[in-house]
Amino acid sequence: MAKVLVPLAEGCEEIEAVTIIDLLRRAGIDVVVAGLKAGIVTASRGVQLVPDVTLDVALQHDYDMVVLPGGMPGAANLKDDARMIALLKKMAASGQYTAAICAAPMVLAEAGLLDGKQATSYPGFLDAIPGVTLSSAAVVQDGKVLTSRGPGTAMDFALALIEVLSGAEKRQQVESALLRP
List CB contacts of 181: < 8 A, sequence separation 6 or more. none
Q: Could you say which of 59, 99, 102, 146 is catalytic?
A: 102
List CB contacts of 35: < 8 A, sequence separation 6 or more. 7, 8, 9, 41, 51, 53, 54, 55
102 a catalytic residue: yes
List CB contacts of 159: < 8 A, sequence separation 6 or more. 23, 171, 174, 175
Residue 34 pairs in a beta bridge with 7, 53
Residues annotated as catalytic are 102
